[in-house]
């Protein structure tokens, strides 16, 4: 089923579209695949597909706007308690999670999906079905992940599997937009005993996302005296300063490798067509898969923004224009080698459920934070297919959606180990 090779060759092999797992990983998955309890768990997950879709519908129809996840979190907490998890908790940030205890002889793995959506209060989240697809804002991102986790817990219970390591299952707040990963940041700040992390986000069961695209988001505001466009002509303009800054930023040539990007996403300001603007602002997004490049571009842009204010003041012989540069989002970037043990484990799990695995491009999810901290972490899909995410026309296709929970199930068993059957592949952090 698997090919073995030393880890030094895995990077080149992955780049050529081939991938090799270590003999240790191969042995674990041979044992798991021949275990009756594991087979029962996989069969349960397939049979549980209708229940999982029911959960997905129910979760979607509980609105969870940015910074207003409380109602959905309370519902999810009740579901975790009903499934028998221990020490079910709502922390100070609003995350909810509970413990599936192992024997105490293995690592501790955190598996979560995010509770928040991008949609503001008042958005209609009623689920509609059409031609085999489910339509609703947030139906895929990330109601699917939350529902898939509940199914995995049910499968562990039904199969009676005793893991060696502990598994913490939960839902996090603040993954989307200006939530700035506040939930996962708080969780890892307060829980230092986590050895690995999986976020169930997206849908494709074949993909393994192990690289983190970092982002810095700034709100930049220029201010000046303002005045009448004719009578006060000669005063510096906040909008003109903003325009100078945008022009300078637009001329930056960031590195293509590692991919590093920027965009001014929103601009605002001014009073009227015949006014010299007293205030103008923009929201800026900077991204890279490498933290060093992210910070380098940040320094360049901040210097250019300050220069733009100076240029506008110089043009009119003034010092009235000021600029306020406010960081409003900081998602750290991070890398892991493609042959990292956690990646090999997910690869072997994908093969074990009969799918063809593929390494995904870098993504921006809750996994960013632990990857940046050096904690093994992945993003795995919840199964099925999706489209038009973050729009009112978001849809979800449930065809073979059980494959997502099956992959999460097999990956977690490989990582934390099954008592008396397999040793954990996830190391315990010192």
Encode pLDDT of 327-381 as tens digits: 999 999 999 999 999 999 999 999 999 999 999 999 999 999 999 999 999 999 9
pLDDT at 1: 34
- Among residues of the chain, what percentage have pLDDT more than 90? 95
In sequence order, the 6+-apart residues with CB closer than 8 A to the CB of 250 are: none
Mean pLDDT value across residues 174-180: 95
Which residues, including other chains, have CB under 8 Å from residue 321's CB and lie 6 or more apart?
A: 222, 223, 224, 236, 238, 241, 309, 312, 313
Structure tokens at 328: 């409003």
Rounded CA-CA distance 316/335 in Å is 47
Cα 113 to Cα 209: distance, rounded to the nearest angstrom: 15
Question: What's the gap between Cα 175 and its chain centre?
Answer: 6
Question: Is residue 8 over pLDDT 70?
Answer: no
Phi-psi region of 400 (alpha: psi -120 to 50; beta: other; left: phi over 0): left
Query: Once rounded to an integer, what is the mean pLDDT over residues 229-234?
Result: 97
Q: What's the number of CA atoms in the CB half-sphere (13 Å) around residue 395? A: 12
The answer to whether the CB of 94 falls within 8 A of the CB of 70 is yes
Nearest-5° Cα angle at 13, 207 to 293: 70
How is the chain split into domains, by residue range?
19-212+334-416, 214-331
Q: Does domain 214-331 have CATH number 3.30.70.360?
A: yes
Q: Any idea which residue has 């097999």 for tokens?
A: 410
| Residue 2 reports pLDDT greater than 80 | no
- 131-171 pLDDT, tens digit per residue, is 999 999 999 999 999 999 999 999 999 999 999 999 999 99
> Which CATH fold would you assign to the domain 19-212+334-416?
Aminopeptidase (3.40.630)
Helix ranges, 238-338 (H) = 238-250, 291-316
Cα dihedral across residues 64, 70, 71, 72: positive or negative: positive
Please give the Cα distance from 143 to 24 (Å, whole number): 35
Q: Which of 426, 428, 427, 415 is nearest to 32 (CA)?
A: 415
pLDDT at 18: 77
Band (pLDDT 50/70/90 cuts) for residue 17 is: low
pLDDT at 15 over 70: no
Task: Give the strand pairing for 133-135 and 96-100.
Answer: unpaired
Would you say residue 3 has pLDDT above 90?
Answer: no
Q: For 380-407, how does the pLDDT look when each residue is reduced to its tens digit (9 = 90+)?
A: 999 999 999 999 999 999 999 999 999 9
**pLDDT at residue 430, rounded to an integer:** 81
Tens digit of pLDDT for each residue in 88-113?
A: 999 999 999 999 999 999 999 999 99
- Residue 45 and residue 406: Cα distance in Å, rounded? 6
Q: What are 284-332's pLDDT values in tens digits?
A: 999 999 999 999 999 999 999 999 999 999 999 999 999 999 999 999 9
DSSP 321: -
CA-to-CA distance for 133 and 384, rounded, in angstroms? Answer: 10
């Amino acid at each position: 089923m698997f090919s073995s090779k030393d880890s030094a060759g895995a990077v080149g092999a992955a780049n050529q579209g081939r991938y090799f797992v270590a003999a240790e990983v191969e042995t674990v998955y041979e044992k798991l695949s021949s275990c009756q309890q594991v087979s029962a768990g996989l069969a349960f997950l397939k049979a549980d597909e209708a229940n999982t879709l029911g959960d997905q519908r129910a979760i979607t129809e509980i609105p969870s706007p940015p910074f207003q996840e409380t109602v959905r979190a309370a519902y999810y907490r009740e579901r975790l308690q009903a499934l028998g998890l221990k020490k079910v908790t709502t922390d100070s940030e609003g995350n909810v999670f509970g413990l599936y205890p192992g024997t105490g002889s293995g690592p501790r793995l955190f598996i979560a999906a995010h509770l928040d959506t991008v949609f503001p209060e008042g958005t209609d989240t009623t689920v509609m079905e059409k031609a085999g697809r489910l339509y609703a804002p947030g139906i895929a991102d990330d109601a699917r992940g939350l529902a898939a986790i509940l199914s995995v817990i049910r499968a562990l219970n039904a199969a009676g599997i005793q893991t060696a390591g502990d598994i913490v299952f939960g839902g996090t707040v603040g993954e989307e937009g200006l939530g700035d990963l506040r939930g996962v940041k708080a969780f890892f700040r307060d829980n230092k005993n986590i050895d690995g992390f999986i976020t169930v986000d997206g849908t494709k069961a074949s993909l393994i996302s192990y690289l983190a695209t970092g982002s810095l988001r700034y709100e930049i505001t220029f201010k000046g005296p303002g005045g009448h466009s004719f009578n006060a002509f000669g005063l510096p303009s906040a909008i003109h300063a903003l325009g100078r800054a945008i022009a300078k930023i637009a001329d930056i040539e960031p590195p293509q490798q590692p991919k590093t990007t920027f965009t001014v996403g929103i601009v605002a300001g001014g009073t009227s067509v015949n006014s010299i603007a007293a205030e103008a602002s923009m929201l800026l997004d900077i991204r890279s898969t490498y933290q060093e490049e992210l910070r380098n571009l940040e320094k360049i842009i901040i210097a250019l923004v300050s220069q733009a204010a100076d240029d506008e003041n110089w043009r009119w012989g003034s010092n009235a224009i000021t600029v306020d540069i406010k960081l409003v989002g900081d998602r750290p970037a991070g890398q892991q080698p493609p042959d990292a043990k956690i990646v090999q484990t997910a690869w072997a799990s994908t093969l074990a459920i009969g799918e063809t695995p593929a390494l995904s491009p870098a993504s921006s999810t809750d996994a960013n934070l632990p990857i940046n901290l050096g904690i093994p972490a992945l993003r795995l899909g919840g199964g099925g297919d999706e489209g038009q995410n973050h729009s009112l026309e978001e849809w979800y296709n449930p065809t073979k959606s059980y494959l997502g929970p099956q992959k999460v199930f097999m990956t977690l068993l490989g990582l934390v180990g099954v008592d008396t059957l397999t040793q954990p592949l996830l190391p315990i952090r010192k």
